[in-house]
Chain A
């Protein structure tokens, strides 16, 4: 089956003051519909540049990007592509335009020229998904940072894209705001939406099904998180670290012979400990 997104040997350089600064070097990647993919790498490794190629915000210098079989170079399909791949950025203030929450969400569908009833339904669905139904009549300016980011996400969801790309969309949020966004992503994933999450937080990347690591514009690794986060030495070279739960598992592995050192989440560590509890020790 044709993948939802196909990136084929893409190279791209930014022109800065007469200099050409390479950002992507022959990157290839296929994303199937329904995947939950985390894109990680040091600052400047090319993550955002790659993301901007996925909905034709940037066009490759060399190579091709196909979304549902449409080439991003083909101007006739630019809007089809942008309706298929929606982007949420780090700072929601730069994305919000309306003065009422529900108008903000309706903005995209209105521009698609959808019938009134359809717009209503989409706005209601999107607000419900991100948990902002109760705030529908408020001014976005007076929402908390976490609510604003969820509103930006609702605006994208109202376009009903098959794929959602989040470019460090949780970076500025507090723990509750971050957790809320991650829960929404789990919901969308369960509905078989495709998710591409760009993040500096390894704990977030560990939740994805697949992790793609970029290093200096090149693909460094593409594997399930458990395999990526087993690679201690490589992680360091890539400018990355272990997720916190993996660090704890590794510390336990130092203390207890045979304790698994490749666990990814709090739940996995708790279960691994629980499965081997020696009640007699302290009781």
Chain B
């Protein structure tokens, strides 16, 4: 059996240890991410999602427990963390706030430049990364970053991560605060990126609709512990439990759930509107029969 791309075992993390402000964030998390999967992470605000994600590329070192990336332990001082960060790219919340170069192309080039690549190779990588997020290289490379829209700046930040050519992307609320079209575009580019063999995504989100579309599996993190995990379909079929945890389900799932409650024998695990519509239609009389409408 091949080793998983990322493995987390009994991970604990406490902020401001041994101070009066001490806050326990993670309390023994186990997690496995296989190559080629898209894994969703949901949980109420303050549940430890961002802390967990920052361990997946070595930005935080395990205080207790283990994190392995490609079989290498991040607790092992011999592990080259720069190499790990190249394999696993992390996109923070509101990453557009962290753009710092004057010109768009330079910001994307920042990572590859530090890899010691030749000029042509670097330019080619920047071009590929920008085009992967729908920013035409020639049109955008010399644009001032401050003149880009918020959606464009978010995608530029993603291009900066993609330019390192990682195997896995770790995304913390990638669509939060974007307008509807910005959200759609970002999701479409992510789906295209991962279509290539073996590319892996881990994403934390409060938007259940996005997870229903993207994630193969999900983990539910509450107060620093994984309380629920499984295929996305299974996790969202536990609506009552999710509601109790302060989380939601996609709208299609909510409609199916309500109709079932009323006694309609529907499949409990529809995720998308298309699935739900196909499932519901068998139960509806054609509207031509009805007196109203």
Bound together: yes
Chain A interface residues (CB < 8 Å from chain B): 41-44, 90, 144-146, 168, 171-179, 200, 202-203, 236, 239-241, 244-245, 247-248, 250-252, 254-260, 266, 269-270, 273-274, 276-279, 281-283
Known contacts A252-B281, A255-B277, A276-B290; is-contact A43 B264 (Cβ 8 Å): no
A244 with B209: CB separation less than 8 A: yes
A251 with B276: CB separation less than 8 A: yes
Chain B interface residues (CB < 8 Å from chain A): 43-46, 149-151, 176-184, 206, 208-209, 246-248, 250-252, 254-255, 258-259, 262, 264-265, 273-274, 276-278, 280-288, 290, 293
| A254–B180 CA distance with the chains assembled, in angstroms | 23
Known contacts A239-B181, A252-B280, A276-B284; is-contact A266 B176 (Cβ 8 Å): no
B248 with A203: CB separation less than 8 A: no
| A146–B246 CA distance with the chains assembled, in angstroms | 11
A266 with B283: CB separation less than 8 A: no
For the A-B complex, the count of residue pairs with Cβ-Cβ distances under 8 Å equals: 145
Q: Which residue of B44, B209, B250 has the most chain A CB atoms within 10 A of its CB atom?
A: B44
| A44–B184 CA distance with the chains assembled, in angstroms | 17
A239 with B45: CB separation less than 8 A: no
B46 with A241: CB separation less than 8 A: no
Enumerate chain B residues within 8 angstroms of A255, measured Cβ to Cβ.
277-278, 280-281
| A200–B70 CA distance with the chains assembled, in angstroms | 39
A239 with B177: CB separation less than 8 A: no
Enumerate chain A residues within 8 angstroms of B184, measured Cβ to Cβ.
241
Residue of A with least CB distance to B258: A270
Enumerate chain B residues within 8 angstroms of A42, measured Cβ to Cβ.
179-182
Residue of A with least CB distance to B23: A142
Q: Could you list some 18 contacts between A and B, CB below 8 A?
A: A42-B179, A43-B182, A174-B45, A175-B248, A176-B247, A177-B44, A247-B273, A248-B276, A252-B281, A257-B286, A258-B287, A259-B287, A270-B255, A273-B255, A276-B285, A276-B290, A278-B283, A278-B285
Enumerate chain B residues within 8 angstroms of A177, measured Cβ to Cβ.
44-45, 246
Enumerate chain B residues within 8 angstroms of A278, measured Cβ to Cβ.
283-285
Known contacts A173-B45, A245-B255, A282-B265; is-contact A200 B277 (Cβ 8 Å): no
